[in-house]
Amino acid sequence: MFEIVSIAHLGRLLHQERKAQGLTQEQLAALTGVGVRFLRELEAGKESCEIGRAFRIASALGLHIFVDSRQGTSL
């Protein structure tokens, strides 16, 4: 499990997983219904990337995103 500390970190993780699965940006964009430009910007860590589409890409890659409270309480 990885702690994601920034959109740039999330973008790098998505990029690494996409490459590990042998997918091009064009293939992943088509698979998830997002534009190639959006995917490039997300992988580059653009701060204004839409979180909903980022979740869609993570899900398509088989990745799960978890949130943990500092107080240890369940959300």
Overall fold of domain 7-60? 434 Repressor (Amino-terminal Domain) (1.10.260)
What is the pTM assigned to this prediction?
Answer: 0.86
pLDDT digits (tens, 9 = 90+) for 39-72: 999 999 999 989 999 999 999 999 999 888 878 6
- Residue pair 18/32 in contact (Cβ under 8 Å)? The answer is no
Domain spans of the chain?
Answer: 7-60
d(CA 72, CA 75): 9
